[in-house]
Amino acid sequence: MLGTAKVDVGTRSAASLTFPREHLSTSSPTAQLPNRCYMRIYQTIFRERVSTRYASGQANVYKSTERQRRVSPASVALATVATYSVQSVFLYSFTMRATFVSVALLAAVLPALAAPTNNVPISKYAGPVKSNSYIIKLKEGVSTDAHVNKLISSITNGGKVGHKYDAAFHGYSATLQGKDLDLIRQSSDVEYIVEDGIMSIDYEQGDETAAVVAREAPAVEGLDKRANGAGVDVYGIDTVRFYVLPFTRRSSDSPIGYLHCSLKLRWTCSVYQPYLTFAHPQYANQDGNGHGTHTAGTAVGASYGVATSANIIAVKVLSDAGSGTNSDVIAGINWAATQARSSGRPSVANLSLGGGASTAVDSAVSNAIAGGLHFAIAAGNSNVNAANTSPARVAAANTVGAVDSSNRKASFSNYGAVLDVWAPGVNILSAWIGGTTRTNTISGTSMASPRVAGYIAVHIGNSGGTPAAVSSALKSSARAVVTGAPSGTTNLLAQPF
């Protein structure tokens, strides 16, 4: 026996059902009904003279127009729906567009439709990541505190909030998985979510110290001593955190040699919990790597630096192994942006680090620049186009590639249209850890970037200027002498300006 498809007509009254007028007498009451709800199944039966089957046998439902006049619209609808077979539905649904869905099918489909469909996708990071750690960008107008407090009260699967950002990035970092992560993905507060990638320093050991000393000294001595960065703060966002006596502008000589004697320290911050930190406390009070000390020496050091009277503010975002998370780097940028804004002093930050493309890191740098903080950023040491690396690809920053003593592109240096200038980055001599007079010779775009940071510090100490204006002046004063750069890459060598 053929099955029967049923449709619930709900609470619709007979007066709301409309039928083809060619089958109605003008004297029929139904002829005056409004034509709002066209019932296609009725049209199918009367236009095509379809015969339907009753349980008791075959019979023609309506044999003439005279018969239909005597049938009320509601009766027609109910009788048609109740007796129209599944076979007839499949036969005529395509030609007459009459579609009937069984109650069982609806019961299966509706729960799926009710499931959340606004899950925020998680952007993957091209490189190593911190497991189950994410950076969450909130929509404009959403209160970070209110959102985070709500999240904390709803966490059931061991999730934990890391950093809360304010100045440079509107959002926070968190360790989340399972239901806790789903909760964030379904929140209407969230703009995007990115994996918390790992960044690292960009340098290599050098082996030609003597040649470097002979080349480096004249360039440093040639700087205009009347504009030496006095009153300017240089933020070294790196591996370094110097030991310093509290509430003093002059640094102490640490008994274990953490602070190099050539550096003038205003104050310090480490992004390693606790003590204003964001990771391991064992790294809180020292640079156990040397990279941060070296870059600081190039930017502001008395012996090997450019802006010799500028203040260095050390912001440790990387471990002694030379790597750290994007969330920690953003925290350091956020802290520097906040301090620079509150101090009112001209300020420049150096970022001699990098990693895969990260929208969150780029956004933090861009926002800090918009707030008035200048940036010099290493292009990276992978000999690839820097367009796919962060934060080197930030358009508003000053991205720096490395050249050797012949002003030729260093073999390791990244390149591409995102580079603004080049600077010496091969076999660079500067301060090192292990003693107050220790030095080391290393190579990398990490060594080129702080030189440009020093140039910027000298310039803004003397003339001021917005990040955009200073970046333009930096490039205008540069010399077009760099060789070996791929097509589409600048050949400008940065100069004091």
From the candidates 170, 291, 294, 374, which is the catalytic residue?
A: 291
SS3 410: coil
Q: What are phi and psi of 329, to 5 degrees?
A: -60, -45
Q: What is the DSSP string of 270-288?
A: E-SSSSS-SS-GGGTT--S
Kindly tell me the sign of the dihedral angle through the C-alpha atoms of 135, 140, 144, 146. Answer: negative
Closest CA to 130 of 200, 194, 196, 193: 196
- Give the C-alpha separation, 133 to 163, whole Å: 11
Residues, the chain, total? 497
Identity of the residue numbered 133: S
From the candidates 238, 287, 362, 404, which is the catalytic residue?
A: 238
Contact predicate 322/358, CB 8 Å: no
Looking at residue 28, the DSSP 8-state letter turns out to be S
Q: What is the DSSP string of 87-150?
A: HHHHHHHHHH------HHHHHHHHHHHHS---PPPEEP-SS-EEEEEEEEEEPTT--HHHHHHH
Contact predicate 260/305, CB 8 Å: no
Residue 446 a catalytic site member? yes
Contact predicate 353/294, CB 8 Å: no
The structure tokens 């075959």 sit at 58
Q: Is 119 exposed, middle or buried (0-12, 13-18, 19+ CB in 10 A)?
A: middle
Residue 238 a catalytic site member? yes
From the candidates 270, 366, 430, 446, which is the catalytic residue?
A: 446
Residue 291 a catalytic site member? yes
Helix 291-300 crosses helix 445-462 at what angle (to 10 degrees)? 40
Known catalytic residues are: 238, 291, 446
